[in-house]
Amino acid sequence: MRMRWVVLAFLFLLAVLNYTDKSVLGLAAEPIMTGLGLSYDEFGMVGSSFFAAYAVGSLVLGTLTYRFNSKYLLMMIAVGWTVSLGSAYFVETLTQLIMLRVALGFFEGATLGFSIVHLARWFTSSQRGFAVAIMTSGTTVGTYLAAPLLVAGITNVGWQHTFALLGVASLIWAAAFFFMPDEPKEPLVEDVKSLASNKDVPFRQILKVLVNPYVLSIMVVGFVSMWITTWVLTWAPTYLIEIAGLEPQRMSFIFAGMGIVGTIFAIGMGKFTDFLFKRNKSLIKSYDRVLITVLVIGALAYGMTTIVSSPILACVFLGIGLIMNTSLLPLNTTIKSLVIPRNLVGSVTGISLSIASMAGIIGPWATGYLITLAGDDIRAGFNSGVLVIVSLYVVSAIVLLLTRKLKISATEKEDALRAEEEKEKLNVAIE
């Protein structure tokens, strides 16, 4: 089963490319705006168009996993990135730039859903927390650590060449991935039979899966995770400079350091949740409990940044919050792969991502509005934006606590037994 680690390495690299493609536009903002004569509003429209297309792509492409092999779907979207990024050479107007980002956003929308489905072919439920943490750590590498290379490329060869080189990297990935096997030679043996991910259900039941209270709560966490991620990409560097008072160069090192620590923490957390799950065979006592703890600690850390006056303490608490946030995506993704019927994971993930991407449109704008509303008191504006994050964390934790016993089980018999137990509890309460 050594091949599964090779497959995981490919999925990690895909995640790196995915988030590198996302962040390159912001890093190339100045030369693009200067070269195309764009205003800030027009450039903001380009960013919003990406997330709008991302939502559509998540929804449309995500359903393909029900019919088609995840390996070839992953290759398809990687080639789509190549075509999108390579078209940078033809961009001469705002409309053409928007078309480029719309095409890229559409193909990137299904990346996580396809990756989850493919990873589940190679790792059992008790191995998946660690594997998903490694896979999704590629998003942190692409966000935090690829920036120096991208800036060097944009500065030395220009933004169009840099875009195209990223497209070439995607094409090389797709070509190499073609030689990977579709699935293990020997089928995986699950030791937790009650998980919904062990069964297939007709596609017509997707609405029933989507309205399951616990699935809805996981979608809420996904929305919150996207909100924080886009806040980090848009506002965290400005916060460290304007509020914490750091020089830009020092800020970049501290920002990268937070990303490195967050990656290590997320991978360690994935290993820890796997250990808990193997020991007690309970999602509530493993993934749920850890996820709620991460949300509570994150809420406290972000909340403290609005109270402390020391720049050092502001950096420390913001760093703790950002580190907690790096664990949200892998934990949420792992739980999703366990509580949703395996043939619907891609489709449900696509739908949930299309909803979560709305946070990518609303979140950065909301913080910017609050800062503008605060006038000269920039810190007060930032504090208001951070308190929104705190509220989202708290709401997510409460929703998880209220719904964590309402998961989808693997058999109709277990579903009936659980419904009967809930009915008995309700009768007792009435009496």
Domain annotation covers residue 187? no
Residue 406 structure tokens:
């309402």
Which tens digits make up the pLDDT trace of 149-165? 888 888 889 999 999 99
**192 phi and psi, to 5 degrees?**
-115, 95
Burial class (CB in 10 A: 0-12, 13-18, 19+), 424: exposed
| Residue 201 sits in the same domain as residue 163 | no
* CA dist., res. 156 & res. 163, Å (int): 13
Domain annotation covers residue 201? yes
| Residue 212 sits in the same domain as residue 173 | no
State yes or no: pLDDT of 147 exceeds 90. Answer: no
Domain annotation covers residue 321? yes
Which tens digits make up the pLDDT trace of 72-122? 999 999 999 999 999 999 999 999 999 999 999 999 988 988 898 898 888
Do residues 327 and 428 touch, judged by C-beta distance below 8 A? no
Domain annotation covers residue 412? yes
CATH number for the domain that contains residue 398: 1.20.1250.20
Domain annotation covers residue 186? no
- What pLDDT shows up at residue 412? 46
Question: What's the rounded mean pLDDT across residues 133-143?
Answer: 83
| Residue 165 sits in the same domain as residue 214 | no
**340 phi and psi, to 5 degrees?**
-110, 135
| Residue 25 sits in the same domain as residue 125 | yes
| Residue 213 sits in the same domain as residue 146 | no
| Residue 419 sits in the same domain as residue 370 | yes
Last residue of a domain, one of 119, 145, 180: 180
Which residues, 6+ apart, have CB-to-CB distance to 154 below 8 Å?
Answer: 24, 27, 28, 31, 162
Which tens digits make up the pLDDT trace of 225-268? 888 877 876 677 777 777 777 776 677 677 778 878 888 898 89
Do residues 226 and 357 touch, judged by C-beta distance below 8 A? yes
**122 phi and psi, to 5 degrees?**
-115, -20
Put residue 275 in one of left, alpha, beta given phi > 0 → left and psi -120 to 50 → alpha.
alpha
| Residue 157 sits in the same domain as residue 280 | no
- Residue 170 vs residue 51, higher pLDDT: 170
Domain boundaries, position 381 = 193-431
* CA dist., res. 236 & res. 183, Å (int): 40
Q: How many CB atoms lie within 10 A of CB 23?
A: 16
Q: 291-323 burial string, b = 16+ CB within 10 Å, else e?
A: bbebbebbbbbbbbbbeeeeeeebbbbbbbbbb
Domain annotation covers residue 313? yes
State yes or no: pLDDT of 417 exceeds 50. Answer: no
State yes or no: pLDDT of 418 exceeds 60. Answer: no
The DSSP bridge partners found for residue 195 are 409
Last residue of a domain, one of 180, 208, 235: 180
pTM across the whole model? 0.76
**Domain count within the chain:** 2
| Residue 89 sits in the same domain as residue 209 | no
| Residue 130 sits in the same domain as residue 205 | no
Which residues, 6+ apart, have CB-to-CB distance to 173 below 8 Å?
Answer: 10, 13, 14, 17, 78
| Residue 361 sits in the same domain as residue 320 | yes
* CA dist., res. 184 & res. 168, Å (int): 29
Do residues 183 and 1 touch, judged by C-beta distance below 8 A? no
Which tens digits make up the pLDDT trace of 379-412? 888 888 889 999 999 999 999 999 888 777 655 4
* CA dist., res. 281 & res. 275, Å (int): 10
| Residue 142 sits in the same domain as residue 208 | no
Q: How far is CA 337 from the centre of its chain?
A: 14
Residue 205 structure tokens:
């039941």
Residue 243 structure tokens:
């509020």
Instruction: Please state, in angstroms and as integers, the Cα–Cα distance from residue 54 to each residue in 109, 111, 248, following that order.
Output: 4, 10, 31
| Residue 114 sits in the same domain as residue 200 | no
The DSSP bridge partners found for residue 409 are 195
